[in-house]
Amino acid sequence: MTAGRCTAALLAAVLVCGLTCASTAAAEEAITEEYESISNANEHVQAQDDYARSQKRREITEHDDDQNEPPPSSSSSSSSSSSSSSSPPSKDYFKEELVIRPLSSGDIYASFQFQTRWDTDFFAPGKKVSHYRLFPKSLGQLMSKFSVREMHVSFTQGYWRTMQWGQPFLPAPPGAELWVWFQDSVADVDGAWKELTNVLSGIFCASLNFIDSTNTVEPTASFKPLGVGNVTHQRFLRYAVLPREIVCTENLTPWKKLLPCGSKAGLAVLMKSEKLFHSSFLSLAVHIRPVCQDWGCKGTAWELRQTVNVVFDLHTTGQGKREWSFFKMFSRTLTEACPLATSSKVYIDVTDNPQGELFELNPAAPSLTQAVVLGDRRTYAVYDLMASGTFGLLRSLNVLLRWKTPGNFSTQVDMLRPLLHGERYVAGYGLQTGEIHTLIYNNHPYRAFPVLLLDIVPWYLRLYIHTLTVTSKSRENKPSYIHYQPSKDRLRPHLLEMLIQLPPNSVTEVTVQFERALLKWTEYTPDPNHGFYVGSSVISALVPSVVAMDTIFPESSYFVRVYTEPLLVNLPTPDFSMPYNVICLTCTVVAVGYGSLYNLLTRTFQVEEPSPGVVKRLANMIRYLRGVPLL
């Protein structure tokens, strides 16, 4: 079984396996058998994780002749025999890469990825890990102390505009997102989850300590494990999102300190805070999962991936011009690779410029490579920072893209049109009831496919689940699977998961009505009139690929996770200025009344003789001058 077929089959099995919990016993057994047969082939390391970036790295690994490059793990291995027969990897290694893609809107998308892999097992019986080299000690101790199997945390500023920018390499919702799989040996998962969020809050200087039972759920079908292992029961999974979380330099600084070279060398020198935060979109993420050490998966390794995804506005980076460079985007240039890295490369998407007739790169790329990314075949210019001639005599690399012909980007919009995306908004008027609308778009011209919708609604929005409707092309679209967990006031949120079949070239609308609850005055935020945020909906699907990833199996699919916009809902809010007005009025009355009474009680009265008149004073002055006694 080839890697492409096995991975696609596994993704389908994992997605369906989580969605058919309420189906017949025969269907469950068939899915379980298929899942186990694929798991034995050890192709499930990647599963849903690397999305289309893993496909890119496979082909790049096949074309590179770098002797220092460690063999790809099963998460990024291809079907070529040369990759599987390479020498075993070292004890731990680190590699970094930067992918730059000009977007159809004219913006520039830059995606950093730093990967650290350590061939050790934190949970081996009688083994205590105390020596750390490249893997961050703070994260290693955290994984060991709380028995964490997988951890995924992201901090995002802005909203990814799918229709303008296409699909991102690694999607993330606005705010902070955290989902963790614990080991099956953990007895008190809720206690470990609470302590873990507090520790992560200190590591990343974030407000993750505000995660509690009111915004934590246990999804039954979404967010399946991405690494090796047999922990698949939902009670070991916790998922939470904080849509109000603001990303700032306090989060970026500890994030960069987790890198082996910090921000002193390598691609991390480009991550200047004032440039990153002056962008249209910024997402910081940390992903930890167990992977196989070799093709046979005889040992387990730990993989840490730190990613930064940023979208620069054309007018702020290039002064309104279509040209861009490292210096214009980051105010810095590359001078050297990280000395601890085994691979350091820069990829620039040149798919729309096959013959160089639209734009040119300066300096020219030494090599080109092709890969299927998110269902589309892309061409990349490759700059290897480990090569001796990359930096030239000036020991500096400043890649410049210069367009040869003027024009706009409107002709490329259709090429990047995503096959799946979603929208979400609140309808209704007043402060008593409302309605949540979720729109899911299937832009594939002739293929229908199922999607998994995950909705988390706070407890203070009381859903009328009997009003739930799903329509496609003005017809009712009955979900094949529904899991609903009602909320408990001040204890847990609503959890709604549905498996919906999307017809080709259609818009599916999911609506549900809700009622706003009355909060205690101590439960309001400091800015209650701003509104209350509701986290993004999560849409997961295996999207049919327009370009076959494998010539033998043309019916290829790729995994996509889409986040909708967060909602901002107004609740009935008391007049918080009334206590201030009452205090001011009361204090004024008390001051006036008590002040007058106190003045009367404490004043001392004295008899004062009336002062003499003007004539008498003048006569006394004359008598004084003459020496005559005064009157």
**pLDDT at 149 (0 to 100):** 92
Please state the rounded mean pLDDT for residues 131-137. Answer: 90
Q: 187 CB contacts (<8 Å, ≥6 apart)?
A: none
What would the pLDDT profile of 470-517 be if each residue is shown by its tens digit? 999 999 999 999 999 999 999 999 999 999 999 999 999 999 999 999
Q: How far apart are CA 76 and CA 78, in angstroms?
A: 7
Q: How far apart are CA 278 and CA 265, in angstroms?
A: 22
Q: Residue 400 above 70 pLDDT?
A: yes
Q: Are the C-beta atoms of 145 and 182 separated by less than 8 Å?
A: no
Q: How far apart are CA 36 and CA 592, in angstroms?
A: 83
Confidence of residue 556 (pLDDT cuts 50, 70, 90): confident
Confidence of residue 271 (pLDDT cuts 50, 70, 90): very high
DSSP 60: H
DSSP code per residue over 74-127: TTT--S-HHHHTSPPP-SEEEEEEEEEEE-TTS-EEEEEEEEEEE---TTSTT-
Q: Are the C-beta atoms of 146 and 122 separated by less than 8 Å?
A: no
Confidence of residue 80 (pLDDT cuts 50, 70, 90): very low
Buried/exposed code over 166-178 (b: 16+ C-beta within 10 A; e: otherwise): bbbbbbbbbbbbb
**What letter represents residue 191's amino acid?**
G
**What letter represents residue 343's amino acid?**
S
Q: Which residue has the tokens 């945020």?
A: 533
Q: Residue 408 above 90 pLDDT?
A: no
Q: Which CATH number fits domain 420-569: 3.90.1200.10, 2.40.50.140, 2.60.40.740, 3.30.300.30?
A: 2.60.40.740
Kind of pairing between the strands at 461-472 and 475-476: antiparallel
* 463, two tokens: 């859903």
Q: Distance of CA 564 to CAs 28, 141, 299, 512, Å?
A: 31, 34, 38, 16
Q: Lowest-confidence range among 128-132, 361-365, 428-432?
A: 128-132
**pLDDT at 607 (0 to 100):** 76
Please state the rounded mean pLDDT for residues 313-318. Answer: 63
Q: How far apart are CA 168 and CA 335, in angstroms?
A: 28
**pLDDT at 120 (0 to 100):** 83
Confidence of residue 250 (pLDDT cuts 50, 70, 90): very high
Domain residue limits, the chain: 45-76+90-416, 420-569
Rg of the chain over CA atoms, in angstroms? 33
Q: Which range, 22-26, 43-47, 87-91, 306-310, is most confident?
A: 306-310
**pLDDT at 631 (0 to 100):** 65
Confidence of residue 22 (pLDDT cuts 50, 70, 90): very low
pTM score, two decimals? 0.79
Angle at 208 between CA 207 and CA 209, to 5 degrees: 90
